[in-house]
Amino acid sequence: MTMILGLYNYWIVIVLMMIGFYMIIAHGHLIKKIVGLNIFQSSVFIFYISVGKVEGGTAPIWQEGIILYSNPLPHVLILTAIVVGIATTALGLALIVRLKEAYGSVDEDEIQAMDNQDMANQDKEHQQC
Amino acid sequence: MFAVVMLAGIYGLVSASFFVVMDAVDVAFTEASVGAGISTLLMITTVAMTGRTDHEASHKPLLALVVVTITGGLLIYGTFDMPYFGSVDAPVHNHVGPRYIYDSMKEIGVPNMVTSVLASYRGFDTFGEVTVIFTAGIGVLALLSVVRGQENDTAIEAINNSMHEKYLILRVVIKTMIPFILLYAFYVQFHGDYGPGGGFQAGVIFAAGIILYAMLFGLSVARRVISQPLVQLLSAMGVLIYGSVGLVSMLNGGSFLDYSVLSDDPIAGQHLGILLIELGVGLTVASVMIIIFFSFSARSEYQQANKGESL
């Protein structure tokens, strides 16, 4: 019983991470993949923050008379990671927009099929030469 | 697809409140403005540009489910050796953690430990992260930039007038809100030493104010208020300010980003250094967010214009 109470934060993180992972590998829709990637990423955030928590501690802002604080280091790492995360998400979304313009689709398989088609056509032209 | 995006936004807000419970107020601040605000907005824009439909043909659940279950099972097996939640003697709290908590007030003189770790102890990391954000901004700009012709003044006027009738209440309310949002961003920026806040959060909040304006009054009007070349210059300036503070501290005889040598009194030097680099961070983050939004909406305007011509 103490084990369940002591480790449940990691299990929640793992469940979230696997939901994100499933979205990335099972869906062909590229925006859904990005959402899955975001969930995966936020599960790592939750992992770090929950590791930094100390039972009975307070937020790490210095105050007279308080001795027990949560660990500020994970907070710093995650704080910057969130902002970097949105910047990279924006980059991914920009790539999707360009893919849509070039291929007319945001589905992984369709884009792959079109690429294969192109390759086959090029091979044919080569043979005719 | 719309539902997926909105749920992702709600998820961002919920995880922000979770971070408050976990004592990570600075992180919660960032997540609330980024996860629930900007990221949802960008996703909606992309969905609007790529179409809302999704066909089920590309769905292959069985193999994926097997892989996910096995990985998850192995990870859970791995947690059995982990320290229990909230325990004080966990390895994370034993190495550099105590020094940050108990000595930072003496060494840096800033009550908010997150700020002192972010800007001073690990200033080099933060410099790298600011550079990553800047690079991502350049990437989005390179992917989505469109050459815009001369803005037609009468057309803008016409849009303005039609908008006046269309969203009158929204426009009046937002117009009164925007100064307060921007003021709040400055408060968060300069109060980061004493309470939760700092350059990253302030940058995002400031950008949110500008983005709100651009959403309601149209991109062309927003571009007249803040010109895009200026924003691009500012995003580079932020990184430059950050790097120069490091160089100045080297010239004064310290190591890179060691602010103690910036002034006669080490604590005052630390204060000055943190203030300057937070300013650099805020500038870069705000301008990169604005650049990203401008690029996305310019692209979608461009797409619509092209559609109109081809029809």
**Residue A119 distance to chain B (closest CA, Å):** 22
B61, closest residue in chain A (CA to CA): A26
Q: Does ipTM exceed 0.85?
A: no
Average pLDDT (A58-63) is: 78
User: Chain A partners of B85 at a C-beta cutoff of 8 Å?
Assistant: 5-10, 50, 53
**Cα-Cα end-to-end distance for chain B:** 26
Q: Choose between A129 and B259: higher pLDDT.
A: B259
Domain that holds residue B259: 112-311
Query: What does each C-alpha distance from B51 to A89, A100, A107, A127 come to in angstroms?
Result: 19, 9, 11, 39
pTM above 0.95, yes or no: no
Nearest CA in chain A to B194: A61
Residue B250 domain flag: yes
* Consecutive 10-residue averages of pLDDT for chain B (311 residues): 82 84 83 84 84 63 85 86 77 76 76 80 86 90 74 60 68 87 88 79 89 82 82 89 87 79 79 86 90 86 71 50
- From B296's Cα to the closest Cα of chain A, the distance in A is 7
Establish if B83 belongs to a structural domain: no
Three-class HEC string of A21-56: HHHHHHCCEHHHHHHHHHHHHHHHHHHHHHHHCCCC
Contact B72 A14 (CB under 8 A): yes
Domains of chain A: 2-51+71-128 (1.10.287.3510)
- A47 near A10, Cβ under 8 Å? yes
* C-alpha B46, offset from chain centre: 18
Report the residue of chain B nearest A6, measured CA to CA. B84
Residues in chain A within 8 Å Cβ distance of B203: 83
Q: Is the pLDDT of residue A76 over 80?
A: yes
Chain A residues with CB-CB distance to B42 below 8 A: 86, 89-90, 93
Residues of B in contact with A62 (CB under 8 A): 104-105, 111-113
Using CB atoms, pick whichever of A22, A46, A76 lies closest to residue B117: A76
Domains held by chain B: number? 1
Q: Do B75 and A32 touch (CB under 8 A)?
A: no
Asked whether the CA dihedral B23, B84, B101, B118 is positive or negative, the reply is negative
Whole-number Å distance between alpha carbons of B213 and B219: 9
Rounded-to-10 torsion of CA B1, B3, B4, B8? 140
Q: Do A35 and B5 touch (CB under 8 A)?
A: yes
Residue B136 structure tokens = 């991502």
Is residue B91 in some structural domain? no
Chain-chain contact of A60 with B93 (C-beta, under 8 angstroms): no
- State the Cα–Cα distance between residues B220 and B28, nearest whole angstrom: 33
Give me the phi and psi of A69, to 5 degrees please.
-120, 155
Q: Mind telling me how many Å the CA of A73 is from chain B's nearest CA?
A: 7
- Quick check: is B71 in a domain? no
Q: Taking CB atoms and an 8 Å limit, are B80 and A34 in contact across chains?
A: no
Rounded mean pLDDT of chain A?
84
Say whether B113 and A28 touch across the interface (CB within 8 A): no
Cα–Cα dist B153/B155, whole Å? 5
Q: What is the CA angle A71-A18-A8, rounded to 5? A: 45
